[in-house]
Amino acid sequence: MKFSITREALLRPLALVAGVVERRQTLPVLSNVLLEVQDAQLSLTGTDLEVELIGRTAPSQVDEPGSATVPARKLMDICKSLPDQAEISISLEEGRAVLRSGRSRFTLSTLPVAEFPNIEDSQGSVELSLPRGTLKHLIDATSFAMAQQDVRYYLNGMLLELRSNLVRTVATDGHRLAVCSRPADIEVEPAQKLIVPRKGVLELVRLLDDSDEPVSLTLGASHVRAHTGEFTFTSKLVDGKFPDYERVVPKGGDKVFIADRAELRQVLSRTSILSNEKYRGVRLQLDEGNLQVMANNPEQEEAEENIAIEYSGAGLEIGFNVSYLIDVLNVLGEDRVQMTLADPNSSALMEEPGGGDAMYVVMPMRL
Amino acid sequence: MSPGPAQLPLGVGLRDDATFANYLPSGNATLVDRMRAQLDEAGEPFLFLWGGEGVGRSHLLQAACHEASDRDKRALYLPLAELGHFPPHMLEDIERLDLVAIDDLECVLGRKRWEEALFHCFNRLRDADKRLVIAASAAPRQLDIRLADLASRLTWGMTFHVRPLDDDGRADALKLRAQVRGMQLPDEVVRYILHRGPRRLGELFEALETLDRASLSAKRKLTIPFVKQALGW
């Protein structure tokens, strides 16, 4: 194997592919990236056995096709630190990978290509394509609510629901839940529901942009594959049932107020400074035309803020983890936010006034 | 002093109803097969199962009803421990259903109206070719039944002794139920719960429900210290 390539052509796919590579892993070869040169194409593969990412780019010259696996992070750190527009040549010499650029020379260890694991090609039963911007929006609107390392495997991921003319994502960590749906020009019969693991979701969204260019999805029994032209992403699916989100969305909340989203977010962020660092609790006092936000901490320090809101109804005092409210305000699009409450022990519904494409359910705290 | 702040959990835990899928057959495999096949064309018209406290009689009966509704059949579960103090009107017209599951039979024995109603209910179900499953604390001949006709009817079907689980079986059952809820229960925690917890399986599963909610609320893994704290042991 011998080829040369510009630093810029190598760096973006290498950075994304190296993102999949875990810092610590059971198999040494998993810390490597697989380089394959063929015709006028270089492909790079990184995997952690759950998520696999293949990036493709064009070398400036191919002297000898071939393949090798080299340490992903070291290769990336070297390429990053070389000057802009540097021309890099990589060749396999006596079982070692030699990287040359200008007057620099690096010799990297390799591991046999045969040891590099492939995620097995599972039979794809359904194929469809979505605008990249649609999928990115759906993931961005909900991914913050995924659990991290919960004992319930199904919460450490995102539900991707595909049905004819509709795509929906749902994520929940057991304290809050995020749902976002968008119309899409797809035919899926019967509807498909997959749970993509947390890491897969976070890696997939890095490949997407806001464009209308397509991302094609192949849905298998145990894997999902996404293809964007330059990248092929494969993730194992979480085997299990996802909770019925409709059961969780509150109905019958009678206290509905509308506030300025940016202003409410600032009020909450300021108040949160003096909330209990562990529990992050704030107290909301809802009154006609006014929302009071209060926090205090074990040092007896107190914060109190008032914000004008559109509300005429009965008063209510309710506690929340302030981070959960700020997370929602960060992803909502409109200038104003609508919040529907019932009582201090029932979940709150947050959405755009009149309801947008996303719904957020937040459980209160007992303070 | 008020307890510290607590995050209330959303109801996103998976439901863990009593079904055949979360019943560990262990020594009762034949019984489970018969029960699952009861609604088949050639299924047994009448099954009688008996066993001690906490062996899973109620679970099996409820599982039979869930299976029936999964097959679009109509079924009714009648726990006589709770319903037995009402007059037996609930048995009227019951032959319209496809499956009737009567639990805790011993609770109404010795009461004339109930025994007669059960006797007629048995006959009507049989005439209508509908299925019946009855569970009690003892075998038909050991039960204190006044109405001789009812006593003889109860021996007409297949009778099964529901065997209790041994300690390994109890550990497996606990793990299975945790798994259905999507929770991973490490072996040492299973051993701790079995060692420290209630003997009755039903109470053990209730403890599991408490743990499910507590770990959802606290976002904690199921470790022995956490189990101790959540269950107040």
The tens digit of pLDDT for each residue in B85-120 reads 888 988 988 999 999 999 999 999 999 999 999 999
Q: Please name the helix (run of DSSP H) or strand (run of DSSP E) that holds residue B61, with its range, or none.
A: helix B57-70
Whether residue B216 is predicted with pLDDT greater than 70 in this model: the reply is yes
Extract the tokens encoding A242: 């996802």
Alpha carbon of B100: minimum distance to chain A alpha carbons (Å) = 30
Query: Domain check: are B210 and B109 in the same one?
Result: no
With contact defined as beta carbons under 8 Å apart, do A346 and A318 qualify?
A: no
Q: Chain A interface, mutation test: which of B1, B8, B10, B213, most A Cβ atoms within 10 Å?
A: B10
ipTM over cut 0.90 = no
Was domain A124-246 assigned CATH 3.40.50.11900? no
CATH superfamily, domain A2-115, is DNA Polymerase III, subunit A, domain 2 (3.10.150.10)
Q: Which of A117-126, A206-215, B61-70, B124-133 has the weakest average pLDDT?
A: A117-126
Alpha carbon of A152: minimum distance to chain B alpha carbons (Å) = 5
Q: Chain A interface, mutation test: which of B1, B2, B7, most A Cβ atoms within 10 Å?
A: B7
Extract the tokens encoding B154: 């109860």
B150 C-beta neighbours (distance < 10 Å), count: 22
Whole-number Å distance between alpha carbons of A207 and B81:
60
CB of B8 within 8 Å of any CB in chain A?
yes
CATH 3.10.150.10, chain A: domain bounds = 2-115, 124-246, 250-362
Burial readout A37-63 (b: 16 or more C-beta within 10 A, e: otherwise): beeeebbbbbbbebbbbbbebebeebe
With contact defined as beta carbons under 8 Å apart, do A33 and A20 qualify?
A: no
Chain pair A-B, CB pairs under 8 angstroms = 75
CATH architecture of A250-362: Roll (3.10)
Handedness of CA A133, A139, A142, A144 (dihedral sign): negative
Q: Structure pTM?
A: 0.82
Query: Domain check: are B171 and B138 in the same one?
Result: no
Handedness of CA A334, A335, A340, A345 (dihedral sign): positive
Phi-psi region of B72 (alpha: psi -120 to 50; beta: other; left: phi over 0): left
Residue B110 domain boundaries? 26-161
- If you search the block for the tokens 């096949």, which residue do you land on? B37
Q: Which residues contact A214 (CB under 8 A, 6 or more apart)?
A: A129, A130, A131, A132
Q: Please name the helix (run of DSSP H) or strand (run of DSSP E) that holds residue B81, with its range, or none.
A: helix B80-83
- Residues on A contacting B at a C-beta cutoff of 8 Å: 147, 149-155, 172-177, 240-241, 243, 245, 247-248, 276, 279, 281, 319, 321, 345, 347, 361, 363-367
Domain boundary among B99, B130, B161: B161
Residue of A150, A155, A366 with shortest CB distance to B5 = A366
Q: What is the pLDDT of residue B1?
A: 37
Handedness of CA A210, A211, A212, A217 (dihedral sign): negative
Handedness of CA A351, A352, A353, A357 (dihedral sign): negative
Find the closest chain A residue to B2 by CA distance: A367
User: For each of chain A's 367 residues, which pLDDT tens digit applies?
Assistant: 999 999 999 999 999 999 999 888 789 999 999 999 998 999 999 999 999 999 999 999 999 999 999 999 999 999 999 999 999 999 999 999 999 999 999 999 999 999 999 887 667 678 999 999 999 999 999 999 999 988 888 899 999 999 999 999 999 999 999 999 999 999 998 999 999 999 999 999 999 999 999 999 999 889 999 999 899 999 999 988 898 888 899 988 999 999 999 999 999 999 999 999 989 999 999 999 999 999 999 999 999 999 999 999 999 999 999 999 999 999 998 999 999 999 999 999 999 998 899 999 999 999 8
Query: Domain check: are B79 and B143 in the same one?
Result: yes
Work out the pLDDT band at B3, boundaries 50, 70, 90. low
Residue A89 or residue B84, greater confidence: A89
Length of chain B measured in residues: 233
Query: Domain check: are B103 and B81 in the same one?
Result: yes
